[in-house]
Amino acid sequence: MGYFKKIIFNNFRNFSYFSIDFDSDCNVIVGKNGSGKTNILEGLSLFEKGKGFKKEKISNLINFENKNKNFNISSIFNNKDISLDVNIYNSEKNLKKILVNNSEEKESINHFESLFSIIYFLPEMERLFLAPPSLRRNFLDRLIFNHNKNYNKIVNNYKKAINERQVLLKDNLYDEIWIENLEKNIAEFAYQIYEKRNSQIDIINKILQEMNLLTHFSHKFLLQIKDDFLDNNLEAIYDKEIFVSHLKNNRKIDFLSGGCSIGPHRSDFLGFNLENNFNLSQLSTGQQKTVILLIIIAQCKYLIDQLKFSPIILLDEVCSHLDSKNRELLLYLVDELNIQIFMTGTENNFFSFLSTKANYCNIT
């Protein structure tokens, strides 16, 4: 099992210098609002590919009192009997750079990134099924990225192709062969995204149906992809040419609207109660949190049981709306899955249900 043993922040966010040690299982980070609890979790999330869970510009990560200096986050990452020194810093062009045992070699970095994956819960996710569809798409795409590190590249290529098509549509003299080839590329990327999202939903639904963690939780639910194009063109699921023909027919509409009227960037995923088919958006905030925690547990079980891969869990301000069901699920994460978990909160007593099962880190 891979886990972070130690992390040191230099000139990062509100920290000019801060060092903290972690246990390999449950770590509770306690401190007042503004003390830097979320910044610690964000720093951990930066060790994965990408910009971290806040998607922040790298230049904004530099301590505001020392903007003329670089930030550095150094860590000790243990995996079985191997210990790795991993550093993250910003380059002169404010790009994120990573060193593994002082090496920038791609092979070393890829090896490190293959040792773990991060699953996170942020406060805004408490009302996921009331949020805009983009937040649900991002949540689903993160689950895919947990076990497919190339997935973001597919999504980014899809977005890039859509933007390029829009630029061409603004030019009434565009080359027909050029835009046709571009629309074929869009269809290819779109169908890879469709396939991976549908597969991920099927995985989570199957595991949720097999789990019996909350026998008293009455809201048995099913997740489902909603996409107007596929719903109205069922044969398109098996035929990319139908997608391409719709792109061609929609060129004028898309030119006027300034976007692309079909595709996975317009998809949503919804949840329905299996007993009476009502939408999960009708659940209370605490119940929606229960659903999210169940999905996170299902994802962990998939990664651990089927892929033999240990995730690292970041749970920011997880104690709001923490009823007995949600405490039960957090205890399951801590007791049963044997993975590294981080939780943040403002008071130690919020975590009293963990008893002595956690390493407490008080931030002052």
In this predicted structure, what is the pLDDT of residue 211?
82
Residue 216 and residue 69 share a domain: no
Could you report the per-residue pLDDT of 63-107, keeping only the tens digit for each?
988 877 899 999 999 998 899 999 999 998 889 999 999 999 999
In this predicted structure, what is the pLDDT of residue 239?
87
Which of 309, 330, 347 is at the close of a domain? 309
Contact 12, 71 (CB under 8 A): yes
Residue 173 and residue 48 share a domain: no
Domain-located, residue 274? yes
Enumerate the β-bridge partners of residue 73: 9, 88
Residue 201 and residue 100 share a domain: no
Domain-located, residue 122? no
In this predicted structure, what is the pLDDT of residue 212?
73
Contact 225, 197 (CB under 8 A): yes
Residue 235 and residue 215 share a domain: yes
In this predicted structure, what is the pLDDT of residue 278?
87
Domain-located, residue 271? yes
Domain-located, residue 123? no
Q: Rounded CA gap, 66 and 71, in Å?
A: 9
Whose CA is closest to 254, among 203, 338, 182? Answer: 182
In this predicted structure, what is the pLDDT of residue 216?
52
Could you report the per-residue pLDDT of 188-232, keeping only the tens digit for each?
999 999 999 999 999 999 998 888 765 555 558 899 999 999 999
Residue 144 and residue 287 share a domain: yes
In this predicted structure, what is the pLDDT of residue 234?
78
In this predicted structure, what is the pLDDT of residue 215?
55
Contact 149, 113 (CB under 8 A): yes
Q: Structure pTM?
A: 0.94
Domain-located, residue 50? yes
Domain-located, residue 281? yes
The CATH number that applies at residue 47 is 3.40.50.300
Domain-located, residue 121? no
Residue 305 and residue 323 share a domain: no
Which of 267, 291, 309 is at the close of a domain? 309
Residue 71 neighbours by CB distance under 10 Å: 22
Contact 120, 316 (CB under 8 A): yes
Residue 244 and residue 134 share a domain: yes
26-30 and 72-79: which strand pairing? unpaired
Residue 4 and residue 80 share a domain: yes
Alpha helix (H) residue ranges in 69-215: 106-113, 133-145, 151-169, 176-210
Contact 225, 198 (CB under 8 A): yes
Residue 334 and residue 279 share a domain: no
Residue 331 and residue 257 share a domain: no
Whose CA is closest to 27, among 40, 17, 9? Answer: 40
Residue 17 neighbours by CB distance under 10 Å: 11
In this predicted structure, what is the pLDDT of residue 353?
93
Which of 262, 294, 309 is at the close of a domain? 309
Contact 212, 328 (CB under 8 A): no
Domain interval for residue 239: 128-309
Residue 219 and residue 143 share a domain: yes
Q: Where on the phi/psi map is residue 347: left (φ > 0), alpha (ψ -120 to 50), or beta?
A: beta
The CATH number that applies at residue 137 is 1.20.1050.90
Residue 252 and residue 138 share a domain: yes
Domain-located, residue 58? yes
- Kindly give the parts of the chain with pLDDT less than 50: none
In this predicted structure, what is the pLDDT of residue 277?
83
In this predicted structure, what is the pLDDT of residue 1?
79
In this predicted structure, what is the pLDDT of residue 67?
79
In this predicted structure, what is the pLDDT of residue 316?
97
- SS3 of 313, please? strand
Looking at the 3D structure of the chain, how many domains does it have? 2
